[in-house]
Chain A
Amino acid sequence: MSAALFGKLTILVVDDSAYMRHLLMTLLQALGVKEVLLAIDGDEAWDLLQSKEPDIIITDAAMMPVDGFSFASRLRSIRGRALGMVPIIMVSGHTDIASVERARDIGISEFLSKPISARGLYERLIQVLDRPRQFVETPTYRGPDRRRRDRPFEGEDRRGAVALI
């Protein structure tokens, strides 16, 4: 099933490092991905998205002049097109809690820390391909549900509109 699925995918890789772009592209090709699109920063990726609609976006966090956070945030602000909900995997060397939380709060689907491994990339791809989290829209957040565990909520219902039963 895996090969058949990857053979139908278009994945956009956004990274300012030529080596990292090459590595990711080669790994995706090893998986059998049909089409790998490449961009060197958020701006170039944005231009590319005017003519292409990838199934998944893999983006670096730290890039100049438009970094992965701004790019992802811009993507999540798209309304009325599937592109606004495209799975985004952020690849980053910044693995501190603050950076991971920032990525989560922008609406990143998965976080992959550098140095990357074949297994880490493969697992995150499976996650976004086969086990997507529901999408949440609030006035301050738009992205995959940030709660990964499905357990009863015991605190104050600040959303006010969520049925718990």
Chain B
Amino acid sequence: MVERRSPSRLAGSEGISDTPRPEVRFIRVPSIAERKLGTDYVAPMRLDPRVLEQMQSTIRDLEAKYADALKSQVAMLQVLVEPARKGDADARERLYALSHDMRGLAGTFGHAIVGQFADSLCRYIEKAKDGDWGDGTVVSFHVDAIRDALENPGTDPAITMETLNALDRLIGASGKKHNAGGAGRSTG
């Protein structure tokens, strides 16, 4: 299994120099499919369209349940935004956790736009140095955008894109303002 390879002939004098070289070990990893199936194994393993359909159907079954959960999460975001703007650490933590959940899940369940706004919000919070949210405008605008996207799922993609760009510009402007006010700080 373990292979210790000899110096390369193409490496020139480097390959045979006396300088100690870091040891490199290559280990051949057996295929799990082969190990588990033994003689029943047929290579290569391919994606089975029937199984894929079964998985996609599972996601569709979960969609309605998730839609209810998403509504509650967005309502909670709106409750949290004000205390979070004022610096309440617990509210900020919960607001980030909810946005993080939406970033990961909304797109899977057909709410791609909600996921994109949540992603933008998460990236802003993650980059905000020392938890500096400025006056909180960036966060509240994001929360408003998330709520609108949930309530109006059929919005023209061009408008969505323009909103995302506007949020980006807002984040950029917010970063510049803080950079001007404090050495090396950036929220962008």
Contacts and interface: CB of A to CB of B under 8 A. Distances in A.
Interface stretch (B33-41, B129-137, B151-159): B33-41
B62 A23 contact: yes
A164 B59 contact: no
A136 interface: yes
19 contacts: A1-B42, A4-B37, A5-B32, A5-B36, A23-B59, A30-B55, A55-B32, A115-B107, A115-B112, A119-B52, A122-B47, A129-B32, A134-B26, A136-B25, A137-B25, A160-B19, A160-B22, A161-B6, A162-B8
B10 A126 contact: no
Interface centre among B34, B46, B104 (most CB of A within 10 A): B104
A19 B56 contact: no
Interface of B: 4-11, 14-15, 19, 21-34, 36-37, 40-48, 51-52, 54-59, 62, 66, 69, 100-101, 103-108, 112, 115, 119, 122
A156 B14 contact: yes
Contacts, number: 183
B108 A23 contact: yes
Contacts of B36: 5, 8-9, 55
Contact of A165 (B10, B26, B54, B58): B10
A5 B33 contact: yes
B107 A114 contact: yes
B24 A157 contact: no
Nearest to B31: A130
Contacts of A145: 26
A160 B62 contact: no
Contact of B5 (A17, A156, A163): A163
Nearest to A96: B123
